[in-house]
Structure 1
């Protein structure tokens, strides 16, 4: 048994070594890519808004100076946003059309429908086009481009290392988490997001461990350059709480859900309108930029990401109520125009801005009217951010942790759970990421593994093989090899105990060929066998058995009844039965 445990440990170590190397490389690229994108936005903002418009948007505490300046050439706002849209459109549609829109959705689409493949040029084009869009005042965020940078590298690594399709998809998902975790200084939230954002209702659990590694490394590299202070400083450290406030946060959840639906539907209605517009694709982002710039003439707070304006509210210096309420709808429209027209940028920052302004507005309406409202709007802003975007992204858990990391703590998780839960239910299947699928069973990545309607009522005992050759731990490796070769098998069950009826392990061809040929006669099966894999009972259905094989990356399952080995079911036998069943149904 000790040899079995050691063998099993070796398999886990092989897995850990593989993903430690791959995830580390992805994390390094995510961190460096986040720095490059961060600086590209900085210089683009300096060129377009500071020099062109004479306007410096306020920055959050963790990213620069929180200074509100005037606008010396306000009339230049539509000119600059139009120029930014034009340049972005020319670059994207000339070199990488798939870089239009918000990059996270493109990465999700590649995971489900493109075998985890993203063209190598896409991340670079996405960085340039998105930096121009955001820096010129387009209403967009950083999450999509950064996710696509690291996801693209994960995909490229998968191709260069000749990983199988499943591993290539995991590398891509790992990149999503690493990129977002780095740029938002939210490694835990980023890692969770990579598993949650792919589905409306489900998780890609296999991506979790690699994402933890890559996200932590990406965060460390980026934060060592940009500073370890959370994006919004330490806003969530000391928050007073009273049970009655849960009613207020419940109301915030209701409003967040309703505004979230408006955000999603406005965004995709605008996107669909621009797709049908009869003009060159490269020109459409310029039109969207022009219209967004006109909104910015009257409400310049919609320009760029807008984090600085949220920060002012957190520091108890919110905008007037009328402006705050107008900004909710203006940001929805300007984001839809900037990105939906074919511009390049993320939807995370606009979603946080809309949710934060919603929280600010509700706080302003309540704090002088009812009791126990916090003295500062900060709690309402933070919870509003979590509720709205957690709902429309269909990733409530990840977004709660992300915003907690961005604001320096988790003191607001209790009210956030109320608000996010309500908003999540209200939003339903309205999602800002249209490439999400309902569950893993609905994804082409897992459909073959998870759902076989013809197999739901067929039990393992109906198709299992009972004529199974076996060996004992005391047999020689050479004897085992002769059986494998004669029966044209890849694996053999190893039995022991009373009457050799108990399954004690399995031995595979790979276990034997690792040994020098001259050692085959003297080496015993017990020295090379692996621990028994997952086993099934005869009454288990074939769809469940096939899913177990897929989850454990094996091609067969021993069948045990009352602790005794009674048969073996293989993937090939199940598939053969499935094909015959389909033929009978179709006849």
Structure 2
């Protein structure tokens, strides 16, 4: 056991230092280009979006055409089916594509490229040290954790996120120690490279009460539904563009170009502040400013069109923004402060859309401080995680265990391919209902509607 601790102290420290350096260079480049296009006029923005879409399409199409290894660059796939191997030659494609997306105004996040950089660099380190398949998997998970920690300045939450995101309902405890070491080292290295981080302080909260706790759980339920809409909207737009491609035989690089044209039309009615990272919106919500009820929907639509049409970018930062906006907007309806609602909503949407409730709760602790608010964000996060069911922004996620005793799934089945079986008792009741009472019930229901 001591040898294992020493082994991972060395390997995870090396991985964290290299990943922290790589992600820091990416973040500085991203900030430089995004700031350069942040205040362009509307007509320039409407030109940048389709141009950025075309550049994205060309880069991703020709870049991945050169990948002859047969390996996918999905982090989750690398751990589950590729023995921790990533195609190293395509390392820079996604980071460059993300810079193009965000600099042109596409609505996406910055953490996806960092997780990709982390996994790719960690995979390369494993090959240099000639690690076996099991150690290689752990090192790639370390890289994901390190990349995530470097983005938001949340080393503990980032470490857990990189492990928890692999499967719904299961955490590999043997991944935790190296992931935490890599996350802390990456965070410290990124600070040394001058990456800026923002932390928030919640307003003083009243003493704990069950009523206040139940209200925050209700916010979590609402945000679980918001996350549900977010996940399904992205899937819907992806399906629409895939059908357009199949129907008309479109050249793949043209899809994000069309997506950019759609975004250009949408910003004629949706404020441009919902484009890009939209972090100022999140900051305002966490400062207690009231947000519009449909703000989360505007951000959801722009993110869905951006990512669904073929732009590349992260998927977690939009969850932060959507959660903060939704929580702030709906909190006053329940007698809660908008700031507390924003903090609770942020955690709840990340917990549900990514299926990472533990990482989301820890993120709330690291971003907002270990205060009484932790109790409230925890209840909301778990409630939202349950409400969304077996849906995720990561199609490669596996279902290790069902979220409900009403449903039984085969372990480690991919999302979208799972067969969900209701409990035997319920099936028996439903069968009898259909045979004996079903027809009569429907006839009575139709007669009642007609009478009304």
**Alignment TM-score, normalising by the size of structure 1:** 0.64
CA contact (8 A) 1:120 1:152 kept: yes
2 CA distance for matches of 1:215 and 1:237? 29
* Alignment of 1:216 onto 2:172: no
Distance 1:338 1:287 in 2: 10
Aligned to 1:270: 237
2:205 is aligned to 239
Cα distance change of structure 1 residues 97 and 438 upon mapping to structure 2, 3 Å threshold:
farther
1:313 aligns with 2:248: no
Structure 2 residue 223 is the aligned partner of structure 1 residue 256 = yes
Answer yes or no: is 1:44 the counterpart of 2:33: yes
The CA distance in 2 between the partners of 1:44 and 1:346, in whole Å, is 16
Match of 1:303 in 2: 275
Secondary structure class of the residue paired with 2:231: helix
| 1:151 shift after superposition | 0.6
Determine the C-alpha separation between the residues in 1 that align with 2:87 and 2:391: 29
Structure 1 position 202 matched with structure 2 position 163:
no
In 1, Cα distance between the equivalents of 2:264 and 2:332?
28
Measured after TM superposition, the shift of residue 273 of structure 1 is: 2.0
1:75 Cα deviation after fit: 2.2
Inter-partner Cα distance in structure 1 for 2:119 and 2:183: 12
C-alpha distance in 1, partners of 2:23/2:107? 19
Using the alignment, how far apart are the partners of 2:121 and 2:206 within structure 1?
Answer: 44
Match of 2:107 among 125, 128, 139: 139
1:174 alignment partner in structure 2: 142
Alignment correspondent of 1:511:
none
Aligned position for 2:375: 414
- Structure 2: tracts of 5 or more residues without a match: 402-409, 414-452
Is 1:392 matched up with 2:340? no
Give me the whole-angstrom Cα distance separating, in 2, the residues matched to 1:189 and 1:183.
11
TM-score (norm 2): 0.82
Q: Secondary structure at the match of 2:135?
A: helix
Shift of 1:268: 1.1
The Cα offsets for residues 143-166 of structure 1, whole Å up to 9 and x where unpaired, read as: 111001011111112222221111
Aligned to 1:378: 339
Deviation at residue 34 of structure 1 after TM alignment: 2.0
Deviation at 1:47, TM superposition (A): 3.4
Distance 1:163 1:187 in 2: 25
Matched ranges for 1:317-396 at <5 A: 317-319=289-291, 324-366=292-334, 370=335, 373-374=336-337, 377-396=338-357
Aligned position for 1:437: 398
Please point out which of 24, 29, 38 is paired with 2:13: 24
Question: How far did 1:227 drift?
Answer: 5.9
- Are residues 211 and 235 of structure 1, via their aligned partners in 2, closer, same or farther at CA, if it must alter by over 3 Å? same
Equivalent residue, structure 1, for 2:157: 189
Alpha-carbon distance between aligned partners in 2 of 1:105 and 1:432, rounded to the nearest angstrom: 16
Q: CA RMSD in A?
A: 2.4
For residues 379 and 269 of structure 1, the distance between their equivalents in structure 2, rounded to whole angstroms, comes to: 32
Task: Judge conservation of contact 1:356–1:385 (CA < 8 Å) in 2.
Answer: yes
CA drift at 1:122:
2.7
Matched with 1:79 is: 47
| Contact 1:400-1:416 at 8 Å conserved across structures | yes
Shift in CA distance, 358/32, structure 1 to aligned 2, threshold 3 Å:
same
Cα contact 2:94–2:116 (8 A) shared by 1: yes
Moved over 4 A (4+): 440-444
Instruction: Say if 1:49 and 1:136, in contact at 8 Å, map to a contact too.
Output: no
Judging changes above 3 Å, is the alpha-carbon distance between structure 1 residues 422 and 175 closer, same or farther for their aligned structure 2 residues?
A: same
Q: Deviations over 1:498-531 (max 9, x none)?
A: xxxxxxxxxxxxxxxxxxxxxxxxxxxxxxxxxx
Cα shift at 1:136: 1.6
Q: Deviations over 1:445-480 (max 9, x none)?
A: xxxxxxxxxxxxxxxxxxxxxxxxxxxxxxxxxxxx
Partner Cα distance (2:389, 2:318) in 1 = 20
CA distance in 2, matches of 1:312, 1:198: 32
How far off its partner does 1:241 sit?
4.3
Greater shift in the superposed pair: 88-97 or 348-357: 88-97
Distance 1:254 1:352 in 2: 16
Relative to structure 1, is the Cα distance of residues 87 and 407 closer, same or farther in structure 2, using a 3 angstrom cutoff? farther
- Say which SS state the counterpart of residue 130 (structure 2) adopts: coil
Pick closer, same or farther for the CA change 1:237–1:211 going to 2, 3 Å: farther
Quote the residue 2:252 is aligned against: 281
Paired residue for 1:127?
95
